[in-house]
Structure 1
Amino acid sequence: MISLNRWVMLALAAAFSLYHVVRGLMTLGQADSPWPSIAAMALYLVATVLSLWPTSPTAMPGWLAALDLATAVSVPLLVTSELNPQVNNGYATWHVAAIGTLMTIAVVRRQELIGWIGVLFLTVQSVLWCGIGTSVEIGVTGSIMWVIVASVLTRSLVKVSRDAENLAVAERESAKWQAAQDAHQGERRRRLEQTAVRALPMLREIILSGGELSEEQRMESRVIEAGLRDEIRGRRLLNSRVRESVDAARRRGMTVSMLDEGTIDDLPETELEAILNRVADAIDATEATRMIIRTAPADTGVAVTLVALGPSTDPAEPGDSVRLFLEIPRSVSADAR
């Protein structure tokens, strides 16, 4: 595939635009007065230079589009004001190809409406000045064709660019989806492995005993079941120390509930490890009948909240009382362990 860079395209457009002016200069003698044509050339050159400025964005700004349209209206009027429409003016009608080129540039730079208005004005003005037959001879149809081709190609390129962007977005979304699926499969395998490691020994004992379990085995089964539930609901609230501390607390008769709502997923591993070790320390040091461990809202400075309840020691206030209320901040350092 052949591709031209921006500078080559600009150089070709500038050379072609300058050619019209050179052709007009060579035929100044055919005009009754050269000054309107010279003024038209100056205006055309200014509009062309600004339209082809190398650092300009692809989309032409509105003020420049207005200048190009004003040029498309002024130049034909200036040039034809000093020419005889009844004779063959030859290259003296340089303005037809020049305005066609300028309007083509406007179309390519996303000002299609301006390009069409300019070339339509050129067509109408030429027909009124010299008639349909002569207008065809001086190249009006060629200018119209340039604008048509520029419109078709520009729309096609815009569509291709849009399709390429949509494809890139779709590819990124597909990659994200695949990554999420891979992560889901990996997490599923990890949980199945953890389940097998923790539950299979007890399942074997249940099978071998025919379902007749001792009280100790029943307790251990409940601890394992609760631990498996923690793997689902607790997620990043768990590390090896927290698992051991929670299991030990349950064997002491404590009911432990864990809930990770995803608000600590963005914490660095070192910070998270320090937080979880503080959770484990709190569990080990607390005597209660029930403990709730959950992540705190993301818009607070707290990472994890622990609440422990136990029988009230005050006869005047029967029921449970708070034995522990602990908020562990998100910025816990490893030294705080």
Structure 2
Amino acid sequence: MITVPRWLMLVLAALFSAYHVVLGITSLDIPDNPWPAVVALVLYAVATVLSLWPVRRMRMPDWLAAFDLAVSIAMPLLVTGQLDASADNGYATWYVAAVGTLMTITAARRQLVAAWLGVASLAVQTVVWAGVPALGTLGVVGSIVWVAIAHMLTVALATAAREARRYAQAEREAAAWQAAQDAHLFEGRMRLAQTNRIAAPMLRRIADRGGVLTEAQRRECRMLEAAIRDEIRGRMLLTDVVRAEVQHARERGVLVTLLDEGGIDDLDEATRDRVLSRLAEAIAKSRADRIIARTAAEGSPVAVTVVGLVVPGDEGVDTADTEDAEVELWLEIPRRI
């Protein structure tokens, strides 16, 4: 797509506006009194410079749009007050094209209401001063057409820009979705491989023995089941050190539960290693009957919460009522040091 530099558009608009000033200066001998026309020229020059001054914001400020509208109303009154409506005034009616140009610039800078009010006031003043036929002979219709074209182009460009932003956002969301799907697929394959590595030897032994296992082998199967559950529910909470300490805890008869709900996915590797080292240390030092490690919610200053419970009585941990348990360990591992 071919694009026109913004500075080139500003230069062309400035030259076109300057042309009206030149016409106004060369026709100062036609009005009865040239000074009102001089004032109109100064007002037009100031309004044009302010409107074309390069700024980052495309939309014209409201105060500048109001000033341009006031200038577009004042110029015809100043100039025509010194002209004869029935005579051929030549280039002395330069204000018509000047108002059209100024209002076109105003419309291009997204102040459409002010632009239409400006050309509407020009049309009304022209009809009052010289009659309806003057709308065509003085070029008022052309000024209205310029503003209409600027209006259509402004709306079209704004719509195109809005659609471009929408498509760009959709593209980013699609890319993020695809990346998430690829990550889930990769993680699923990795978890499957990890599960297969852990469970395959025991499954082969179970098949070889026809399902008849000793108590020690049943206990080992339960340990493997818990390890596989950790791989599924623990996700980012697992490192080799954490796995080892969880295994040691379970060998002591501790019921360990790891729950990763996505609260530490945004941590960098160094921070995550620090957090999980604290988790492994807490599991190793705890003498609780049950340990629960859970990631905190996103945005929380806490990364992982670790709770250790001591179950009273002689009941097994698996069947004991945890409502009567006492807290042996309560640890909140922060995200940042």
TM-score above 0.5, yes or no: yes
Q: Name the counterpart of 1:330.
A: 334
* Deviation for aligned residue 1:286: 4.3
Q: Name the counterpart of 2:222.
A: 222
Shift of the 36–301 alpha-carbon distance from structure 1 to 2, 3 Å rule, reads: same
TM-score (norm 1): 0.89
Alignment of 1:9-28 (within 5 A): 9-28=9-28
Q: Name the counterpart of 1:269.
A: 269
**Aligned letter for 2:173?**
E
Partners in 2 of 1:93 and 1:332 — Cα distance? 73
* Deviation for aligned residue 1:284: 3.7
Q: Name the counterpart of 2:317.
A: none
Partners in 2 of 1:261 and 1:94 — Cα distance? 73
TM-score (norm 2): 0.89
Q: Would the aligned equivalents of 2:293 and 2:304 in 1 still touch at CA under 8 Å?
A: no
Cα-Cα RMSD: 2.3
Q: Identify which range, 12-21 or 262-271, moves more after superposition.
A: 262-271
**Aligned letter for 1:90?**
G
* Deviation for aligned residue 1:330: 2.5
Q: Secondary structure at the match of 2:105?
A: helix
**Aligned letter for 1:70?**
A
Alignment of 1:98-109 (within 5 A): 98-109=98-109
Shift of the 253–301 alpha-carbon distance from structure 1 to 2, 3 Å rule, reads: closer
Partners in 2 of 1:247 and 1:110 — Cα distance? 68
Q: Secondary structure at the match of 2:29?
A: helix
Partners in 2 of 1:282 and 1:71 — Cα distance? 77
Unmatched runs of 5 consecutive residues or more in structure 1 = 314-318
Q: Would the aligned equivalents of 1:106 and 1:115 in 2 still touch at CA under 8 Å?
A: yes
Partners in 2 of 1:283 and 1:74 — Cα distance? 83
Q: Would the aligned equivalents of 2:206 and 2:212 in 1 still touch at CA under 8 Å?
A: yes
Shift of the 26–177 alpha-carbon distance from structure 1 to 2, 3 Å rule, reads: same
Number of residue pairs matched by the alignment: 328
Matched, 1:96 2:110: no
Q: Name the counterpart of 2:184.
A: 184
- Where does structure 1 differ by over 4 angstroms across 4 or more consecutive aligned residues? 285-288, 310-313, 319-323
Unmatched runs of 5 consecutive residues or more in structure 2 = 315-321
Alignment of 1:76-87 (within 5 A): 76-87=76-87
Q: Name the counterpart of 1:316.
A: none
Partners in 2 of 1:98 and 1:208 — Cα distance? 98
Q: Name the counterpart of 2:115.
A: 115
* Deviation for aligned residue 1:217: 1.5
Q: Would the aligned equivalents of 2:286 and 2:329 in 1 still touch at CA under 8 Å?
A: no
Q: Identify which range, 36-45 or 103-112, moves more after superposition.
A: 36-45
* Deviation for aligned residue 1:192: 0.5
Shift of the 125–186 alpha-carbon distance from structure 1 to 2, 3 Å rule, reads: same
Shift of the 271–135 alpha-carbon distance from structure 1 to 2, 3 Å rule, reads: closer
Partners in 1 of 2:91 and 2:2 — Cα distance? 34
Shift of the 113–263 alpha-carbon distance from structure 1 to 2, 3 Å rule, reads: same
Partners in 1 of 2:311 and 2:134 — Cα distance? 104
